[in-house]
Structure 1
Amino acid sequence: MDPWPAPVATGPVRATVAVPGSKSGTNRALVLAAVADGTSRLRAPLRSRDTLLMAGALRALGAEVTDAPGAPGTSATPGEADLVVTGPLGAISGGAATVDCGNAGTVARFTPALATLARGDVHFDGDPRMRERPLTPLLAALRGLGARIDGDLMPFTVRGRGGIPGGAVTVDASTSSQLVSGLLLGAARFERGATVTHAGHRLPSGPYLDMTVADLRAAGVVVHVDDPSAVGGRGAEADPGAAPSTRRWRVEPGGPQARDRVIEPDLNSAAAFLAAAAATGGQVTIPGWPERTEQPGRMLPDLLVAMGCQAELGPEGLRVTGGGRLTGIDVDLSDFGEAAPVLTGLAVLAESPSRLRGIAHLRLQETDRLAALASELGRLGARVAVTEDGLRIDPAPLHGGRLDPHADHRLAMTFAVVGLVVPGVTVDDIATTGKTVPDFARMWTTMLAG
């Protein structure tokens, strides 16, 4: 396919952009609805590759997932249907099932625990990159809770027997907080529930565990956390060589309950559109930005302010106004690694150096994001160096070039941001943005048109 020519902004971008529903929220809601007894309705869900893979996985495991007309005004996409989920899962057709995880970490890490509730063999596989992403600690923990699993990486097979005993287990989730979420989301259906202890040097992306705990509790599941102030590992050591930390969650057996839910806008996906205001000295508003949320994207406004923008949350949503000049930033992103790509894109446009720390785990994402950002942006003349736990960016003159996002949606969006200011940037496989924003290219050009 021909590369996508990233549009250059002819002036400050001024637009209101309604972003689709949260991927993290949609997939957690799908899982909890599929495990519950009864029918749940998800309004304004995200429909992207990752969420469609999750819906397909849950169908394979015996849940019913169907479309229904959506209520007016609940979705960023007019006419978008709701998702109606009827559980509980477990009755798989023909005594065996196959789950395609694609390159979706939430599917690969949230559904193996659910497969233990089925009766029959469930075979898991995915894209080539998924065969390299961390799964071994999760599968070992499930075995410790009573599961029978063949294999330690994809492809692997869960020998479902209609449930497992559960109990206490320790897992090193230093590579991904999803390893803990994947245990917690299915634990209420284990015979004895589960007590999950993380023991490792760092628990990255802690707010996503806040989301998991909050969603479980909202569905009626009883969850105890050893230290409420560190519910997803907040305050985990910034030094990878520091002494191991310990976090513990206890999920009581029983539930969850079927419930209806409106999915929040995806604040992570909003990052690229807000960055357009920062890069061009313009103004972008994201309607529906929640006043309170567990999404780590809530940190975006403060990060953009630190780079020279203004941010205001009002009745119309979150409005970010670029200051005309970008300054570098020195920040620990261990709680919000998803912001690292777009902040790197802004940092190469900034007038002073930047340092992004606490993101060593990004080496194990859809691609090695640290290496890919350094090498691809380097094609434009950017000075991006990979450090032990992140990136260092120094100002440098930039020029056009052809960039490969390495099948990573966040990188493709980042390159679009840089292309607003640097003429001649083209992006291979812009369609990879469909992982979270199915219509990104059209939304981007619409934004530029105001």
Structure 2
Amino acid sequence: MEIPQGVFETVKKLQEAGYEAYLVGGAVRDVLLGLTPQDWDVATSALPQDVMRLFPKTVPTGLKFGTVTVIAEMPIEVTAFRREGRYLDGRKPSEVRLGVTLLEDLSRRDFTVNAIAFDPVTGQYVDPFRGMEDLANGRVKIKTVGEPHRVFRDDALRLLRAFSLFAKLHYHVAEIDIAEDTISAIRQEAESIRRISAERIQMELNKIITSAIPHICLERMATVGLLQQILPELYNSRGIGQQGLGEDAFNYSLSVMSYTSPKLELRLAALLHRAAHFRCSPTSDFQGVCCAAESAALARDILARLKYSNHTIATVTHLIANQLSAFPARMPEVRRLVRKVGQEHISALLELEKAKLLAAGGRGLEDWELLVKRVEQVMASGDALTVQELQIRGSDIIKTLGIGPGPEVGRILNRLLDMVLDRPQLNERDALLSIAQKLKDGEGDRRM
């Protein structure tokens, strides 16, 4: 096991001071699987005040729960061995007792593969719940540390963590499943996830959505009654037919998501791009503008409820609202598409449209590929796509036409841009000023 020097020295220093100290949790599990841990956690018999006395740079990040962050070459969370009282609200323990044994500390953890301790100084493992056995033979059964109902009642977020762990380990072991008694308890305790804050739910949901198997996880979550507690709007699309498709709206959305790259905003847009399908007329166009607008509005409500950032909500709803009912064929239409969607979002929209085609069987991919080439041509051409890229400014309009600042200046600039989108060669200062004069005199192209 390759341990960063700062982590090793932290454990060693605690031990040299007479305390027990081990690496614990997901980092031990990941290294055993050959993965690179994102975070390193140390569990120790030292109390927080002992840790702060030993290390020159510390941050008291969670003294109530026995946690101090040691600043070495990286932040390292050092937590005192602890035992937790009953979780009366399914979210927080009624009490936290420090100064207990390592075994008691490992006993409070969620799943057996997360309840392994490792001493990097001696190279010894402590594995009272045999999590290493599953990892070593590559046949992992995700099972709770102790009686499943108690584990989930202690912290209902563990219901969701079972699936995020399933998603994380799926491609790193030969076989993986959730133990039968664990899945049975999830089914019976599913409603208790409602007691968990939206922020905590979102963090675990993001891990699932950006995993390699989001469609498998969400489908399984639906079968045990967990998905409907978190995303009832998505669950309610089960069994609703899709015009021209064999699958229902739920399975189709999962399939679309599975064809996208693991970028959170893109995956969310794929998952929710048909969120309002059940509200739309069954005879409406499959990718109709009305349904896209309603789905964007519903997606906004869903994401706001789950406490996503304003930036994420804006990006996801923008992609959903701008779904294409048909692929533009003429270059002026392609320019208008890039302008409307924005150069920063056009690649994501194109990927979403491809995923929709693949989920529907692949018909139309040739037209999609042609659109991609045309978009690339537009992006590479340097043609003006915004008012800011025109060869004149508002000040030029004011000076040349002798008009004052105001809405009329903006109206003329937007009319000019509309003409340039049709004919990029018009984007020259003299030509634009000449057209602007005609627009002021009422001689402009009134179709624009």
Same fold (TM over 0.5): no
Larger RCO (CA under 8 A, 6+ residues apart): 1
- The structure with the largest alpha-carbon Rg is 2
TM-score, normalised by the number of residues in structure 1: 0.30
TM value normalised by structure 2: 0.30
Hey, which of these two has a bigger chunk of helix by percent?
2
